[in-house]
Structure 1
Amino acid sequence: MISTALAHIPIGVVVERRKARSAWADTLWRPVLVFGGRPAANAWTWLGGCEDQSLFYAGEAIIELHRTEANNYRDNLLSGRPSVWVNMRPSASEPPYELRAATVDPAEGEAFTDAGSNLVEPVSMPLEVAEILRRFVAEHYVERPFVKRARVNRAQSVAIGPTEMPVSERESSLLRWARLKQTARSSEEGADELPETDRAVVPNRAEMPFDTTSLPPIDSIVADTDITAFLRAGVPPELTQVALRRAWTSDPAIRDFIGIAENQWDFNEPNGIPGFGAMAPLESSVDVLAYIASGGAPSQAPSEGSGAVDDPSCASTNALRLSLESTPDTSSVVGVKEAPQEQTGDSAAKRPRHGGALPT
């Protein structure tokens, strides 16, 4: 592939091998230095170090300079820390990495990281490389002023109407919607210009007077009063608000309710929080089950002293009531131990006690 670069800068790359403190890798590699020129040493020549850290000459790379990237080169020089991005690719054999490329373009250095597995590291730019790059920027950099394009208003440049226009200048769907909307508005304005004699007079229910005598008195509203009549159309809003306020203040569940707030109620008292206390004992559980078993028929318990049930339909209900109120016989239950009976007298005194030790 023919290169279009205007200049080439040969550099040498030095990498570091360091012992890793990890259970997943034994060593870590990273480029640490670049220098200008072509050394006579072979690639991956050991340069020195110790057991935990060693330096190697990884090989030679060529930095290509393009005129179209002069702006990026200039930004690199003005960044305060000019850098060279070194790209190394993992290999399947020793040495574990091979030198792929090097660049002084920050955008290209960021693109090196797209591979994911490659080792990309910026290192400090040598002075001789920085001087060559500075001369290249001075020769090829062109200041391009930023020009903001003016937005063209197609609604003003294209006439709205049935006139046929070229395909490239035909109105868009938005302009077509605006044209149709304007046509509909014009037709409505023409209808509004009809004489008063041609229009049918339709009475407005909101403007019609409302007969307040059909409503119940405000003072008669209590907690269970139906105030639907005050919510109908035509009722003055002030009267509706007065009726709602009267209904709310008459109901203690609404009037006395206070939202749950910390340190405001006595949480140790079962009935200390309005609306969250124990439910009122309206009926026993036996009555509820008897009502369900009878299919909704109300249960009629026999009067005291009577020995039979007059209504035969309540026989099953009363039988269920007796079975629920009687003590069950647990002698036939398998796998469950019976509760021990309470001992009295000497047997209770001789009962052994365990676990009497107290913590120190």
Structure 2
Amino acid sequence: MTDKPLTQALERIETMPLGIVVERRRGVTAWVDWSWRPVSVIPGAGPVEPPCRLLMEGEGWSHSHAATLTLELFRTDTEGYRLNLSQDPPRLWVVMRPGGDGEELVPFTVTASAHEGEGYQIGADVVETVPMPAEVIALVRDFVEQHHVDVPFHKRERKRHFEKEEGRR
């Protein structure tokens, strides 16, 4: 697997920084000390210095601003954004990978495309969805309205393997 997001080769049009809020929770089994999962995003967040910035904590859990990633919207993926916006509620897919010590997971990329999110779920990455904030919904909706072009469906004709004169169907 590469260390670059799948969409890097596509033409980027719109971006927004998103702070990724990750929950660290004490493991429930003897084999795992801690579990990590994204729980929300902070639109327009500034950079965060490693390891992360603690936001809240309780008995056996904490929420931290773990990273600030750039949400990138591409003209070629508006169908994936439309599909996501049609869901209730719309989601963002946060992709996480093992950190330097191999035990904790760190945010790698974030996407609003249902198609790209599904693509990451097929691989070895940890992919979780978080609710899309209203500010991000507005950005994605405006982007889709401005750039989406419906592509008409064209049914392909099947080639015949044998001619009718040969006595076959």
Structures share fold, TM-score greater than 0.5: yes
Q: Which residue of 1 aligns with 2:18?
A: 11
Partner of 2:67: 59
- 1:36 equivalent in structure 2: 43
- Matches of 1:35 and 1:57 in 2, distance apart? 9
CA contact (8 A) 2:48 2:68 kept: no
Amino acid at match of 2:156: R
Q: Matched residues in 1 for 2:130 and 2:120: separation?
A: 14
| Residue of structure 2 in register with 1:172 after alignment | none
Q: Closer, same or farther in 2 for the Cα pair 1:81/1:92, shift >3 Å?
A: same
Once the two structures are superposed, the pairs formed by residues 207-246 of structure 1 within 5 Å of their partners are none
Query: For 1:149, which of 141, 151, 156 is the aligned residue?
Result: 156
DSSP-derived class of the 2:122 partner: helix
Matched to 1:144, the amino acid is: V
**How many residues are matched?**
159
Q: Distance in 2 between matches of 1:24 and 1:16?
A: 19
Structure showing greater Rg = 1
Structure 1: distance between partners of 2:103 and 2:156: 53
Deviation at 1:62, TM superposition (A): 1.0
Aligned to 2:132: 125
Cα deviation 1:243-298 (Å, max 9, x = unaligned): xxxxxxxxxxxxxxxxxxxxxxxxxxxxxxxxxxxxxxxxxxxxxxxxxxxxxxxx
- Amino acid of the structure 1 residue aligned with 2:15: H
1:21 is aligned to 28
Contact 2:47 2:68 survives alignment (8 Å): no
Which amino acid is the alignment partner of residue 100 of structure 2?
Answer: A
Alpha-carbon shift at residue 97 of structure 1 (Å) = 2.3
CA distance in 1, matches of 2:47, 2:109: 19
2:86 alignment counterpart: 78
What is the rounded CA distance, in whole Å, between the counterparts of 1:125 and 1:26 in structure 2? Answer: 29
- Structure 2 distance, partners of 1:132, 1:111, is 23
Q: CA deviation at 1:40?
A: 5.5
Q: Which has the higher strand share?
A: 2
What one-letter code is carried by the residue in structure 2 that aligns with 1:108?
E
Percentage of identical aligned residues: 35
Cα separation, 2, equivalents of 1:108 and 1:48: 31
Q: Measure how far apart 1:13 and its partner are.
A: 0.4
Q: How does 1:88-127 map to 2 (within 5 A)?
A: 88-93=96-101, 96-116=104-124, 118-127=125-134
Q: Of Structure 1 and Structure 2, which has the larger fraction of its residues in helix?
A: 1
Give the drift of 1:149. 2.7
Q: For each residue in 1:70-103, what CA deviation from the matched residue of structure 2 results, as whole angstroms up to 9, or x when unmatched? A: 1111010011221000011112328822221010
TM-score between both structures, scaled by the size of structure 1? 0.41
Aligned to 1:318: none
SS in 1 for 2:12: coil
Q: Secondary structure at the match of 1:89?
A: strand
SS at match of 1:25: coil
Distance 1:127 1:95, change over 3 A: farther
CA RMSD of aligned residues (A): 2.4
* Distance (whole Å) between structure 2 residues aligned to residue 75 and residue 30 of structure 1: 24
Q: Secondary structure at the match of 1:138?
A: helix
Unaligned runs of 5+ in 2: 1-7
Secondary structure in 1 matching 2:39: strand
Instruction: Please say if 1:138 is aligned against 2:148.
Output: no
Q: Bigger shift: 60-69 or 130-139?
A: 60-69
Could you list the runs of 4 or more consecutive aligned residues of structure 1 that deviate by over 6 angstroms after TM superposition?
none
- SS of the counterpart of 1:147? coil
The one-letter code matched in structure 1 to 2:14 is A
Q: Which amino acid aligns with 1:8?
A: T
1:6 alignment partner, SS class: strand
Q: Which has the higher contact order (CA 8 A, sep 6+)?
A: 2
What is the DSSP-based 3-state SS (H/G/I as helix, E as strand, rest coil) of the residue aligned with 1:74?
helix
Amino acid corresponding to residue 76 of structure 1 in structure 2: N
- TM-score by length of structure 2 reads 0.83
Find the aligned partners of 2:110 and 2:99 in 1 and give their Cα distance.
Answer: 18
